[in-house]
Amino acid sequence: MSSNKQRKSRQDAERQQLEREQQRLAAVRRRRTALLSILSAVVGVVVVVGLLAILTRGGDEPDEGTQPPQVQDTSMLEEEAAGEAQGAAVNEAMAAGEVVAEDFTVEPGTAVDSGIKPPRDDRPVACGAKAPANARATRPRFPGGPAQVLEGGVDYVARITTSCGPIVIDLLEKDAPVAVNSFVFLARQGFYDGLEVFRDYGAIAAVEAGSGDNTVGWDAGYQLPDELDLAEREGYPVGTVTTAGLGQPYTAGSGFFIAYGKEFDSGFATNRVQTSFGRVLSGMDVIATMTAMERLGMGGESFAKRLFLEKVVIEER
């Protein structure tokens, strides 16, 4: 079989696998919608029964000095039902290794204004570059999770233009499809454009970027599952791009690390907690330029000059 036929056969197989996965996700969403409908119906029954009880008592003459019956506030019941439905959806998503959305009733990919801007910063920009026009733009959150954007049989590459030069990353959609889908979705939304490489986490030899307010506390509106098979097989070699979780399952969102030293692998040697979803193809010299810069403060994690992700472009191969 020729190489072209082999490639087409592989792409067809991957496309069919993706279609099956999308059908499975659609079935999961239908089950969650049905659960929400059932719980809403239960709330409705409770409300009707409560109102009937009140109306039934309404015909009786109240004793002197007694207060008339109060209409029961049903908002608490509705909130409890919604909370139970969300909790059930979260448990189901975690059991299936899927994204945990802040609100499963929101359509995936729906942007909500966070109202949060990166703080004003008067530091000069590194490498003689200028701050992007959108450096202080408000970043959206996605409480329903990212939309599904990956296609079967496609190899994804990210080209990142930074203040100090380009970085090209091969995205590992086969090993970490959920994390790559999130990254590709956010990049195509323009979410990363104008954000900073805001931290050099020297203790583990990695730079960090991708936070909507250039801090470690950003909440994207959803959390990613751990996809750790590749990390457990190969560790975290220099040039690995990973999620930037907090060391526990379902704490990763939009942020990411780029490992520039062996300390990243050794630091997580006994506990592979970050999903590997990319490999730097070119641009480690740009990372070296960043990590050689002066720092601020005693901790030494903040750069003396600002480093921007000017543009993140996704290419398909």
pLDDT bucket at 47, cuts 50 / 70 / 90: very low
Distances (CA, A) of 46 to 39, 52, 99, 121, 171: 11, 10, 32, 54, 50
The pLDDT of 26-38, averaged and rounded, is 56
Cβ(311)–Cβ(158) under 8 Å? no
Closest CA relative to residue 195, chosen from 206, 207, 180, 177? 207
Please give the helix or strand (H or E) that residue 284 lies within, else none. helix 284-291
* Res 221: pLDDT: 97
* Res 25: pLDDT: 54
Q: What angle do CA 26, 31, 37 make, to 5 degrees?
A: 125
Tokens of 52: 């009937």
Does 33 score more than 60 pLDDT?
no
Domain ranges across the chain: 3-96, 112-316
pLDDT bucket at 8, cuts 50 / 70 / 90: low
Fold classification of 112-316 is Cyclophilin (2.40.100)
b (16+ CB within 10 A) / e for 114-146: beeebeeeeeebbeebebbeebebebbbbbbbb
Does 189 score more than 70 pLDDT?
yes
* Res 75: pLDDT: 76
- Note the pLDDT tens digit of each residue in 150-173: 999 999 999 999 999 999 999 999
Does 204 score more than 50 pLDDT?
yes
For the ranges 13-17, 215-219, 269-273, which has the lowest average pLDDT?
Answer: 13-17
DSSP states along 189-218: TT-STT-BEEEEEGGGTEEEE--TTSSTT-
pLDDT bucket at 17, cuts 50 / 70 / 90: low
* Res 34: pLDDT: 56
- Note the pLDDT tens digit of each residue in 101-142: 999 999 999 999 999 989 899 999 999 999 999 999 999 999
Rounded Cα distance between 173 and 152, Å, is 9
User: For all residues of the chain together, what is the average pLDDT?
Assistant: 85
Does 45 score more than 80 pLDDT?
no
Under 8 Å CB-to-CB from 307, ≥6 apart: which residues?
125, 126, 162, 163, 164, 196, 197, 198, 290, 293
pLDDT bucket at 281, cuts 50 / 70 / 90: very high
> Percent of the chain beyond pLDDT 90?
68
Residue 258 phi, psi (nearest 5): -120, 115
For the ranges 12-16, 205-209, 280-284, which has the lowest average pLDDT?
Answer: 12-16
